[in-house]
């Protein structure tokens, strides 16, 4: 009973759902290794975006719904890598590394600047961060919709053949698409035929583990501890002489930078950059994932990030094939887009639950 109270009903439902879907997948004789591979890639693809929530929550600004700011920086990095045709290490196993690093080297400084500006804004609106940040995120995305049309990019890979502006979806195939997915990937099918199709994206997992470790290390440093103090108890922090606003800005910058890095990783896994409206709602799955992992608007750890991403992305990967196969057998219709509806309900349900739990915590 205590356990139920601690986890909260929605999380228990989600965990049960997660387990039952994977079991159902087994019962329906779906080929699980394929979906395990898919899950691993999706977890790797999304984890850093989820991690971006941690510094925001820790420094006291709450769930960062303005993640699209970081995401836009990441996209800019990717777009510029294509524009300047940065690939690097062609002909070696590391092909794409150059493009990947180039994208990061553009995205991170941009994210620092945007995050800093945005942090200053957040210090002026204490108490309404979540709502305002949602609309700041939306505004930035729609502002960049205009930018994608008028910015003077020349690469034929990105421009519409006729008309103005960039395409809605740009392939990263020629630069760093699936670079981390494929690097040092271990095909377990070669070990035993019963694992056929199970591929471990080693480099991707190493990279996200690396980023998580850096963050873990940072949180143990003096600055990291001070930032957490500011988030936990701003009044106490002021009393012991910490610069509350400064640390909040630092948290915002870190969150935005992680958002940018997360986007570059996301794009390379996906193999495409999605421009225009695509980033509009991207903060919500990340917010939902960390909440599913057990975080609240005031408390978040890397464990929450890892558990949450595994649960949420694992759930999303398996719900599509299970729904479509199940409904095809039972009701003879394709339940494929059921998983999208299902995602909406899970994602927004958990956010709503977290908000209701925080009841009146605006002081």
Question: Does residue 319 touch other proteins according to CB under 8 A?
Answer: no
- Greatest Cα pair distance in the chain: 66
What does the H/E/C string look like for 96-138?
CHHHHHHHHHHHHHHHHHHHHHHHHHHHHCCCCHHHHHHHHHH
CB 131, min distance to other proteins, A? 4
244-270 helix and 202-220 helix, angle to the nearest 10 degrees: 180
Distance of CA 169 to the CA centre of its chain: 19
From 19, 120, 131, 186, residue interacting with other proteins (rule: CB under 8 A) = 131
The residues in 174-233 that bind other proteins, with binding defined as CB under 8 A, are: none
Coil, strand or helix at 171: strand
Question: Does residue 138 touch other proteins according to CB under 8 A?
Answer: yes
Locate 75 and state its tokens.
């996209």
Question: Does residue 143 touch other proteins according to CB under 8 A?
Answer: yes
d(CA 288, CA 346): 8
Q: In 3D, which of 302, 291, 304 has the Cα closest to residue 354?
A: 291
From 3, 150, 239, 240, residue interacting with other proteins (rule: CB under 8 A) = 150
The residues in 49-108 that bind other proteins, with binding defined as CB under 8 A, are: 65
Question: Which C-beta is closer to other proteins: that of 132 or that of 302?
Answer: 132
Question: Does residue 28 touch other proteins according to CB under 8 A?
Answer: no
Element of type H or E holding 273? strand 272-274
Question: Does residue 135 touch other proteins according to CB under 8 A?
Answer: yes
CB 163, min distance to other proteins, A? 8
Question: Does residue 9 touch other proteins according to CB under 8 A?
Answer: no
Question: Does residue 351 touch other proteins according to CB under 8 A?
Answer: yes
- Contact assessment for residue 250 and residue 266, using Cβ atoms and an 8 Å cutoff: no
Q: Residue for token digits 């294509």?
A: 82
CB 134, min distance to other proteins, A? 7
From 4, 19, 213, 341, residue interacting with other proteins (rule: CB under 8 A) = 341
Question: Does residue 160 touch other proteins according to CB under 8 A?
Answer: no
Locate 24 and state its tokens.
């159902």
The residues in 239-278 that bind other proteins, with binding defined as CB under 8 A, are: none
d(CA 200, CA 132): 40
DSSP letter assigned to residue 293: T
Q: Tell me the site size for other proteins, rule CB under 8 A.
A: 46
Locate 338 and state its tokens.
């059921």
d(CA 205, CA 210): 8
From 20, 128, 238, 303, residue interacting with other proteins (rule: CB under 8 A) = 128
Question: Does residue 120 touch other proteins according to CB under 8 A?
Answer: no
Question: Does residue 142 touch other proteins according to CB under 8 A?
Answer: yes
Question: Does residue 236 touch other proteins according to CB under 8 A?
Answer: no
Buried/exposed 195-216: b ≥16 CB within 10 Å, e otherwise? beebbbbbbbbebbeebbeebe
Question: Which C-beta is closer to other proteins: that of 170 or that of 204?
Answer: 170
The residues of the shown chain that bind other proteins, judged by CB under 8 A, are 65, 121, 124-128, 130-132, 134-136, 138-139, 142-143, 145-146, 149-150, 164-165, 284, 331, 333-335, 337-338, 341-342, 344-345, 348-349, 351-352, 355-356, 358-363
């Amino acid at each position: 009973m205590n356990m139920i109270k601690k986890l909260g009903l929605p999380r228990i439902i989600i965990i049960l759902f997660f387990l039952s879907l994977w079991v159902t997948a087994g019962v329906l004789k779906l080929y699980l290794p394929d979906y395990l591979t898919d899950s691993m890639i999706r977890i790797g693809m999304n984890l850093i975006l989820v991690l971006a929530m941690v510094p925001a929550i820790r420094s006291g600004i709450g769930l960062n719904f303005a993640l699209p700011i970081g995401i836009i920086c990441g996209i800019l990095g990717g777009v510029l890598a294509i524009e300047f045709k940065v690939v690097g290490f062609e002909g070696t196993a590391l092909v794409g590394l150059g493009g990947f690093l180039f994208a990061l080297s553009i995205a991170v400084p941009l994210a620092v600047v945007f995050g800093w500006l945005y942090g200053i804004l957040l210090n002026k609106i204490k108490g309404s961060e979540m709502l305002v940040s949602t609309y700041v995120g939306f505004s930035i995305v729609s502002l960049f919709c205009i930018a994608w049309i008028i910015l003077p990019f020349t690469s034929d890979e990105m421009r519409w053949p006729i008309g103005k502006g960039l395409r809605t979806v740009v392939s990263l195939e020629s630069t760093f698409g699936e670079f981390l997915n494929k690097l040092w990937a271990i095909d377990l099918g070669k070990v035993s035929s019963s694992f056929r199709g199970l591929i471990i994206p080693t480099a991707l997992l190493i990279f996200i583990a690396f980023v998580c470790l850096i963050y873990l290390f940072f949180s143990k440093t003096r600055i990291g501890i001070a930032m957490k103090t500011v988030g936990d108890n701003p009044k106490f922090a002021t009393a012991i002489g910490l610069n509350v606003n400064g640390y909040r800005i630092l948290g915002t910058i870190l969150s935005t930078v992680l958002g940018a890095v997360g986007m570059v990783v996301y794009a390379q896994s996906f193999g495409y950059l999605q421009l225009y409206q695509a980033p509009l709602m991207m903060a919500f799955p990340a917010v939902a994932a960390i909440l599913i992992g057990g975080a609240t608007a005031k408390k978040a750890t890397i464990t929450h990030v890892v558990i949450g991403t595994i649960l949420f992305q694992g759930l999303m990967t398996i719900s599509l094939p299970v729904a479509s196969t199940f409904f095809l057998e039972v009701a003879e219709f394709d339940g494929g887009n059921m998983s999208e509806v299902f995602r909406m309900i899970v994602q927004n349900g958990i956010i709503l639950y977290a908000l209701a739990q925080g009841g009146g915590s605006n002081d």
